[in-house]
Homo-oligomer: A and B are copies of this chain.
């Protein structure tokens, strides 16, 4: 047990979740290493949701509310860190949850499925029982998507995603929302909208914003989206990281 008073409580708690998820088969080998990369960038951003990230989260909420077929794509790290928030956000939005894994095995899919179900998830797409559609430009199984899920989705939330898949989904005409702590990554640059924040802070914040904005009329929501510029927002996040490096003495 990590004492709540520990100055790095939240970070150690996430680390614990990641290690347990690895041991229970939710995470692939690379998932634990990827978590470490995230930690480094989170450290540079100050381990808090910046105002810049909040702007991105607000625009993301607007896009998800306006969506006809919103889908939340989940992988091992997302399941490990924020399963309850995936379930909550899907509920609030009426969005679908779809499992999509880089290192896919039937066993991992089943383990993740069960983990999300235990958190109260409704229907979960992307399981082995489905007749997948294939998205061109990606090798199987990353390019295999559920016909009822990502295949016909207009807005997709892809937390902790890889650059290749983000690019292909954007080229398919989808509005892709990424959560990525590295503003220099290809995912961050190619997504329609990138939230530069730790997923453990971004997901509950996104759910709050959706709840707050869902009574607004579509024109207001559209305006929120139109006023958002992804590259400028990424540059603002980079500036914050630069400042934290410059504070060195």
Contact = CB atoms under 8 A, between A and B. Distances in A.
Interface of A: 15, 18-19, 22, 29-30, 32-41, 43, 182-184, 234-235, 238, 241-242, 245-246, 248
A240 to B, nearest CB: 11
A184 B44 CA distance: 9
Given A37-B39, A40-B41, A248 B183 contact: yes
B234 A238 contact: no
A36 B40 contact: yes
Given A184-B245, A246-B242, A248-B184, A33 B30 contact: no
A119 to B, nearest CB: 23
Given A39-B40, A234-B248, 12 more contacts: A15-B29, A19-B33, A22-B29, A22-B32, A33-B33, A33-B35, A40-B40, A40-B41, A183-B248, A184-B245, A235-B248, A242-B245
A15 to B, nearest CB: 6
A18 B33 contact: yes
22 contacts: A15-B33, A18-B33, A19-B30, A19-B33, A32-B36, A33-B39, A34-B36, A35-B36, A36-B36, A36-B37, A36-B38, A36-B40, A37-B37, A37-B40, A38-B40, A39-B40, A40-B40, A234-B248, A235-B248, A238-B245, A238-B248, A245-B245
Contacts of A22: 29, 32
Contacts of A34: 36
A146 to B, nearest CB: 30
Nearest to A23: B29
A128 to B, nearest CB: 26
Residue of A30, A36, A39, A234 with highest tally of chain B CB at under 10 A = A36
Nearest to A34: B36
A221 to B, nearest CB: 29
A19 B36 CA distance: 13
